[in-house]
């Protein structure tokens, strides 16, 4: 019951509360961000997608923590979720700075990611960790593409994405070291397809 209440609390905080980072938001002090209106709209769409990714990360880690009977691994997932809260806070604040809103479908994204986390957990801890490895690798690749697509002058968004990319690589490495299995190719392809639907939709809605 305590775990269920904690999972419900995490969902409510992720979707409706203002996230609070434990680390300062990354910045490039020497470079001031100045964007034309069209550049601002483009940057906002990309950061909305990144914010959705962080909503999903909270859901995944919370579900995987709920699913595992291993107390040590549960703490691993909970710690990862705490670290991802920084990303959630940074992207949320950047959206406000750009005059944009989060995705209107965040509750749907959260529910879907939570369900995937529970399913992964049902297949055992090593599969669940392997799901983390593949998820973080795909997110890292996705963030790299955003670094290439962000307006050249958007130093504020770029600094955030760079730090997020480094953190995701660290999470993948930790999950692999903890015993994560390599997922089958069809599973990886299905994950990429689902991510494509999410990112394409969140770009606009």
pLDDT in tens, 115-128: 989 888 888 999 99
What domains can you pick out in the chain, each with its CATH number?
37-202 (1.20.1260.10)
Question: How do residues 78-133 score in pLDDT, each as one tens digit?
Answer: 888 888 899 999 999 999 999 999 999 999 999 999 998 988 888 899 999 998 99
Tell me the whole-structure pTM to 2 decimals: 0.89
SS3 track for the chain: CHHHHHHHHHHHHHHHCCCCCCCCCCCCCCCCCCCCHHHHHHHHHHHHHHHHHHHHHHHHHHHHHHHCCCHHHHHHHHHHHHHHHHHHHHHHHHHHHCCCCCCCCHHHHHHHHHHHHHHHHHCCHHHHHHHHHHHHHHHHHHHHHHHHHCCCCCHHHHHHHHHHHHHHHHHHHHHHHCCCCCCCHHHHHHHHHHHHHHHHHHCCC
What pLDDT sits at residue 102? 94
Tell me the pLDDT of the chain averaged across its residues: 88
Can you tell me the mean pLDDT for 131-156? 92
Confidence of residue 46 (pLDDT cuts 50, 70, 90): very high
What pLDDT sits at residue 76? 86
């Amino acid at each position: 019951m305590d775990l269920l209440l904690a999972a419900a609390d995490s969902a409510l905080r992720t979707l409706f509360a203002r996230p609070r980072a434990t680390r300062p938001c990354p910045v490039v002090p020497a470079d001031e961000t100045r964007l034309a209106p069209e550049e601002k709209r483009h940057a906002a769409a990309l950061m909305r997608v990144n914010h959705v990714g962080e909503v999903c990360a909270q859901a995944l880690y919370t579900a995987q923590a709920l699913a595992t009977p291993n107390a040590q691994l549960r703490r691993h997932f909970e710690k990862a979720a705490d670290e991802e809260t920084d990303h959630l806070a940074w992207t949320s604040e950047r959206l406000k700075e750009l005059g944009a809103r989060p995705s209107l479908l965040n509750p749907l994204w959260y529910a879907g990611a939570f369900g995937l986390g529970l399913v992964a957990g049902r297949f055992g801890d090593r599969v669940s960790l392997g799901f983390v490895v593949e998820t973080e690798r795909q997110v890292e690749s996705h963030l790299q593409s955003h670094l290439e697509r962000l307006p050249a002058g958007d130093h504020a968004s770029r600094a955030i994405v760079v730090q997020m990319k480094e953190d995701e690589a660290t999470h993948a490495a930790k999950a692999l070291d903890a015993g994560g299995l390599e997922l089958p190719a069809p599973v990886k392809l299905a994950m990429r397809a689902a991510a494509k639907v999410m990112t394409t939709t969140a770009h606009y809605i």
